[in-house]
Amino acid sequence: MSELQSSLLLKKQLAELNKNPVEGFSAGLIDENDIFRWEVLIIGPPDTLEGGFFKAHLYFPKEYPLRPPRMKFVTEIWHPNIEKNGDVCISILHEPGDDKWGYEKASERWLPVHTVETILISVISMLADPNDESPANVDAAKEWRESYTDFKRKVARCVRKSQEECS
């Protein structure tokens, strides 16, 4: 797929999201002149980051949709599947094909049928239901399993901070 085809597909997906917004997030461009760099705002799902407004960036490769974008939270977030630097670790954002370590099936990884909408719905689902078996943030996963009260306290702090940043 050419860079032109990729940019046309991304323009189409952005137009569709603007025309038919999806509950739980909004999306736009970081820079109006660069269709390959998006900014998204995720409204924290109930029972997790409820009330939080979490900003993240999606970086699309020129080979999209044959290769997945990278996603990074800009707003501080405490979660087992989000690295301390904000990088999102979720199966559908992993390069397509078999996992060389055997943790994921090829069908769980990136497929060209995914769209920005399916990515963000998957991320919102992950926020509500962490996978502590394969954590990107080992400290958050350990706390989620062993000291849930402390985990919830850190999440609540991130939510309050996100609300302050949005006001």
Active-site residues, by number, are: 89
- What the block records as the tokens of 32 is 């109006």
Is the CB of residue 51 less than 8 Å from the CB of residue 69? no
Return d(Cα 146, Cα 167) in angstroms, integer: 34
In 3D space, the residue among 71, 101, 86 whose CA is nearest the CA of residue 140 turns out to be 86
Residue pointed to by tokens 């996100």: 162
The answer to whether 57 and 38 are in contact (CB under 8 A) is yes
Among 47, 46, 43, which residue's Cα sits nearest to residue 55?
A: 43
Question: Do 137 and 154 meet the contact criterion of CB atoms below 8 Å apart?
Answer: no
Q: Specify whether the CB–CB gap between 150 and 143 falls below 8 A.
A: yes
